[in-house]
Amino acid sequence: MNVLNHLPLFAVWILAVVSPGPDMLVVAQQATTRSRRHGVVTGLGVASAIAVWAVASMLGLSVLLARVGWLYDVVRLAGAAYLVYLGARALWASRRTERVPVEPVDATPTSAAKAWRTGFLTNIGNPKAAVFFGSLFGALLPADTTPWGRVAVVVAMVLVAASWFALVATLFGLPRVVEVYRRGRRWVDRVTGIAFVALGSRLALDR
């Protein structure tokens, strides 16, 4: 695989990954409210969903979603509902009338699995990802890329995403950031909840 031929694709991908959105928000929330480890695992969940969308797009799913409108809508509305659910949960937590300590960190495998699932569902519920990958590959992936080259492209893209979200989790899991969250927990939860609800509503209404 000629790396230079794929530089435009990866440049666009990096810009897309670092752009603020539901994925970054959920990773930051998990890292701040739970632990840095939970944030990293949530990021791995997001990266896993990205792998699914990327592979599916190469296999033609983006074309299928474009032609079968109801299937696109089902995935879109399910994803929107999940984002609204995350927002509602954060808003409910913000109802505390007094400042309370952050819940003890649960480091069990079950807790880690829940963090992974949160990241995975946040990304997999957005069918626009398939459309994005379809457009990205159609415009910037060289036509002569071999099957193994395509596998390498997907792996590299997933690694870029996982590395970025690990960095986000590390930054938001810093003791100083966690302390700021503890001091203004109610308002931070409220703003985060509103952001999730707004993102979910936008996904539900924007076709």
Burial of 75 per CB tally in 10 Å (0-12, 13-18, 19+) = middle
Predicted model pTM: 0.81
The answer as to whether 54 is a domain residue is yes
Quick: pLDDT tens for 113-126: 999 999 999 999 88
The answer as to whether 31 is a domain residue is yes
- Is the sign of the CA dihedral 85, 89, 94, 96 positive or negative? positive
Give the total number of structural domains in the chain: 1
The answer as to whether 14 is a domain residue is no
Quick: pLDDT tens for 27-86: 999 999 889 999 999 999 999 999 999 988 888 765 666 676 776 777 778 878 878 888
pLDDT (0 to 100) of residue 84? 87
In terms of Cα–Cα distance, which of 137, 125, 132, 128 is closest to 49?
125
The answer as to whether 4 is a domain residue is no
The answer as to whether 149 is a domain residue is yes
The domain of 38 spans 22-205
